[in-house]
């Protein structure tokens, strides 16, 4: 499958500039988005849609960066997006959902429950129900399935397309998951916010202290937040809240 790498939200955090990494996948069953970044409604109403968190991550909020506009620029229609697979429901991952109201939105059942019935303080602060006020067509998944390629559990989303799998990796949020995509010559693992800095993988440098602190502070489960197996190709080495 052909995979486009999109930046759907530049962030100017206190330590570094970051991007909201989104995958656009061309399948035989239409277009599939993996995460959605910030959307047109976020750009139009940052205070109402994003709340206080926008002051921490300082998104640029340029309409041209939204998935909607980038997909149109590639010559597709927004209606061509049939499915959106979401790693987790933080504000910089689901802002674009409202721009594709007909798409099915795939997420773990645990993450949907966390977003709609938050328990922990971090959950009550991080999720913004206004971002799914348009009532998207949610499809819940339980990825506690078969061991797969070194992961404890994964579920291939064959109803979308063969070669797209949801990999359970809770820690950053209650139902956080990674999304594996068969890109032909290699597999791509879109890991959401499973880690914040490339040093988590390569060990060649130290993550900025502020990043490590925020990674710990915002994690739903700090014990499991940083477990990553060996994998031939990672995406999302630049992460966000
Ligand atoms: Zn996050």
Q: How do residues 196-223 score in pLDDT, each as one tens digit?
A: 777 777 777 777 777 777 777 777 776 6
Q: In this structure, are residues 189 and 168 in contact, taking their beta carbons and an 8 Å threshold?
A: no
Question: Which whole-number Å values give the CA distances from 172 to 32, 33, 63, in the listed order?
Answer: 24, 21, 28
Distance 65 CA to ligand 1 centre (A): 19
**What is the pLDDT, as a whole number, of residue 222?**
63
Ligand 1 centroid–CA 220 distance in Å is 10
Q: Compute, in angstroms, the gap from residue 74 CA to the centroid of ligand 1.
A: 27
Strand partners for 146: 154
Distance, CA 21 to ligand 1 centroid (Å)?
A: 12
C-alpha 193 – ligand 1 centre gap (Å): 5
Which regions in the chain score pLDDT beneath 70? 222-241
pLDDT at 51: 93
The pocket of ion ligand 1, defined by CB under 5 A, consists of 90, 193, 241
Cα 90 to ligand 1 centroid, rounded to whole Å: 5
Q: Give the distance (Å) from ligand 1 centre to CA of residue 175.
A: 11
Q: Give the full edge-to-edge strand order of the sheet including 234-235.
A: 146-148, 151-156, 164-168, 177-182, 187-190, 234-235
Q: How far is the CA of 119 from the centre of ligand 1 (A)?
A: 17
What spacing in Å lies between the alpha carbon of 180 and ligand 1's midpoint? 18
Stated as kind and residue range, the H or E segment containing 8 is strand 2-12
Residue 220 confidence (pLDDT): 72
Distance, CA 17 to ligand 1 centroid (Å)?
A: 16
Ligand 1 center to 177 CA (angstroms):
11
Whole-number pLDDT of residue 96: 98
């Amino acid at each position: 499958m052909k995979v486009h790498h999109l930046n759907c939200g530049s962030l100017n955090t206190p330590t570094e500039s970051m991007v909201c990494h989104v995958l656009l996948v061309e399948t035989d069953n239409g277009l599939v988005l993996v995460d959605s970044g910030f959307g047109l409604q976020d750009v139009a109403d940052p205070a109402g849609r994003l709340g206080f968190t926008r002051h921490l991550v300082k998104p640029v909020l340029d309409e041209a960066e939204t998935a909607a506009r980038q997909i149109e620029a590639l010559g597709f229609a927004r209606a061509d997006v049939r499915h959106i697979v979401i790693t987790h429901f933080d504000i910089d991952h689901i802002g674009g959902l409202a721009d594709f109201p007909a798409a099915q939105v795939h997420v773990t059942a645990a993450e949907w429950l966390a977003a709609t019935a938050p328990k922990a303080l971090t959950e009550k602060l991080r999720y913004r129900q206004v971002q799914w006020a348009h009532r998207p067509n949610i499809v819940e998944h339980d990825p506690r399935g078969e061991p797969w390629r070194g992961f404890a559990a994964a579920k291939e989303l064959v109803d979308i397309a063969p070669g797209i799998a949801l990999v359970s990796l809770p820690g950053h949020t209650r139902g956080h998951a990674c999304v594996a995509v068969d890109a032909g010559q290699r597999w791509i693992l879109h890991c959401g916010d499973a880690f914040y800095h490339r040093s988590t993988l390569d060990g060649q440098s130290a993550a900025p202290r502020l990043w490590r602190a925020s990674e710990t502070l915002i994690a739903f489960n700090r014990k499991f937040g940083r477990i990553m197996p060996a994998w031939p190709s990672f995406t999302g080495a630049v992460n966000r809240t």
